[in-house]
Amino acid sequence: MSAFRVLIVESEAGEAAELSGLIHSWEYTGASGYISPAVIDSVTSAEMALQAYGESPPNLVIFGPTSAVEVASSQIRQLRQSSGIEPVPILFVQDLSCGEPAAPPTDCDDILTKPYSPSLVQLKLASIRRFCEFSRSLMAQRDRLRRHHADFLQEQANAREIFSNLGNESCLDGSPAIRYHLSPRAVLNGDLLAATYTPDGKLVLMLGDFAGHGLAAAVGAVPLTSIFYSMMPRGFSMGRVLREINRKLYDILPRQMFCCLAMLELDPRRMHLRLLNAGMPSPCLKRASGELHLLESRHLPFGVLATDQIDSAIVNLRVLPGDRLYLWSDGIHEARNGKGEHFGESRLMDLLRADCGGNQAFDQILMAVNAHAAEQHDDLSLVELELTDSSLCRSDLPAADHNGERKGGRIGNWSIELRLAHEELRTADPLPHILSVLAQMPGAARFQEDLAITLGELFRNALEHGVLELDSSIKSTDDGFIRYYDLLAERRSRLDRGWVNIVLSCTESEEGGQLNLVVEDSGSGIQEIREPKGVYAGRGLALLQTVCSEVHLVPGSSRVEAIIRWPAAKPTAQEDPCGSPANAVQNPSVPV
């Protein structure tokens, strides 16, 4: 317990001694039972009292009967200002033995009357001391709150920088076909938006909404984006990445936290859209004709269950010229006005229908929500994706960074053979594993994207048409398109026989290099080479012939060979950094 200091201001020495003796005889017992006498200082004037404030600030000031009459109001104000924000009570002694009592002074906080009543004086001093202890306690709590608040702001600033850096790998700003708006309710955003490309040129975009707001909600973005930006550029399938995200969130998030998530995979070459909605508001596909399709949630939010049914919850859609996709978080249609009315999904649909030109809905939705909401109650996120815009094709994106040594190094002569049996084919994802091995080789960037496209196409062809015996002509109609992928998931989950064999061999000489890919399956073989039917079916062979130098397939055989050639590498020192091949891919820095 700190000392309780009493400053007596009295010009008459006898009065000061009497008052000092009275206070000295007082013993204060604190709440803890500790007896602590007061420390008494005496000065003869208000000017000396001001000096005493600088040397040892008092907890109580008592003006004796003589000085209480002489002190000016301005001096009392100076004393109060000197005490700072911690209040120091000021008492006046009023002598009642000199005739009629004067009016109570207004500059002081309380008075002591003379002749003194020791019991009343000690009772008043004890009350003031308890008040001072309470005041000290409040000041200490205020200081602690200030320190905690400063630490909290610093932590939020650090967290915000970390979350901003997480989006450095995003391709959201790489195409005018992607428009987005993120507005956090607090400093940190509980909504998450990420996008990247797979090695074979598919755009993958993810919009997530963690339960809650602020730091607690935003912290879940770290593992989620780390998985997304680590696995997607390596070529892992959408289902595999989603399962990994669900597993990680289930392991680390507290049980009351979860993440609603919508992830889409757009293949701009094949005009194919795959989408998983796990608890998010239904994304809206707007056809060029103005027709609206809501893609409802077919999966629980992530982090709720350890097991999942992700593959069966992914919907497959044909993309037609002029199609647009809109995604938003619940902060949009749950925005409330002053009466508590939600903005609602119906207003959103009305705005989308009213936008006949197709390019004003994004801005109109934001303006309408801002005009409707009295205040922001939740994080707001809105995304518009023009699905058939040519800028979404990877060839229009800037080439990834490759230093000259890696780009122009010798690849060498080697071969790899991988055989997948039916048990592995149920869930196998060979593309990222093969690309991961090849990415470690110097100069692999010269053919890595061509390899990803070719290998992905040949593997899908062997699995879907060879092992699972699916006919691509099923996809020629809208209903057949959906039926095809339902059959794919069903037959793959029940697969009990079959195999796919993949052989890669590379040779290199002074004239250049050649990569041979041979994919063979246990199916009956290709019966005939068909012309493309409809928008989607039969486009695989045309794509391979575009990417590869040669493609060999024979009707009646399940063996397909593709050859990728490249010229000899130029010396590193003479390479033009602007001449990076358009098919170069980005190798993620963070391994899975």
Digit-coded pLDDT (tens) for 214-251: 676 777 788 888 899 988 888 788 888 898 899 898 88
Predicted confidence at residue 156, as pLDDT, reads: 78
Q: Is this prediction's pTM over 0.95?
A: no
Omega within 30 of 0 (cis) for the link into 115: yes
- For the cut 70, the answer to whether the pLDDT of residue 206 exceeds it is yes
**SS3 label, residue 540:** helix
Tell which wins on pLDDT, 152 or 449.
Answer: 152
Which pLDDT band, with edges at 50, 70 and 90, does 400 fall under?
very low
Q: Is 319 exposed, middle or buried (0-12, 13-18, 19+ CB in 10 A)?
A: buried
- For the cut 50, the answer to whether the pLDDT of residue 292 exceeds it is yes
Alpha helices in 395-465 (DSSP H): 404-408, 422-425, 430-439, 448-461
Q: Which residues pair with 563 in a beta bridge?
A: 516, 550
> What is the arithmetic mean of pLDDT over 61-66?
92
Angle, CA 88 vertex, CA 82 and CA 89 arms, to 5°: 130
Closest of 253, 274, 276, 256 to residue 265, by C-alpha: 274
- For the cut 60, the answer to whether the pLDDT of residue 451 exceeds it is yes
Predicted confidence at residue 295, as pLDDT, reads: 93
- For the cut 50, the answer to whether the pLDDT of residue 294 exceeds it is yes
Between the alpha carbon of residue 159 and those of residues 224, 463, 570, 589, the distances in Å are 15, 44, 44, 21
Distance CA 60, CA 89 (A): 5
Q: Which residues pair with 421 in a beta bridge?
A: 499
Distance CA 461, CA 234 (A): 20
- For the cut 90, the answer to whether the pLDDT of residue 283 exceeds it is yes
Predicted confidence at residue 586, as pLDDT, reads: 35
Distance CA 333, CA 312 (A): 28
Instruction: Provide the sign of the torsion angle of the four alpha carbons 575, 577, 582, 586, taken in this order.
Output: positive
The answer to whether the beta carbons of residues 443 and 480 sit under 8 Å apart is no
Q: What average pLDDT does the structure give for the chain?
A: 81
- For the cut 90, the answer to whether the pLDDT of residue 395 exceeds it is no
Predicted confidence at residue 305, as pLDDT, reads: 84
Which run of H or E residues covers position 384? strand 380-386
Distance CA 303, CA 56 (A): 60
> What is the arithmetic mean of pLDDT over 510-516?
84
Which run of H or E residues covers position 520? strand 512-521
- For the cut 60, the answer to whether the pLDDT of residue 260 exceeds it is yes
Predicted confidence at residue 585, as pLDDT, reads: 33
- For the cut 90, the answer to whether the pLDDT of residue 266 exceeds it is yes
Predicted confidence at residue 569, as pLDDT, reads: 60
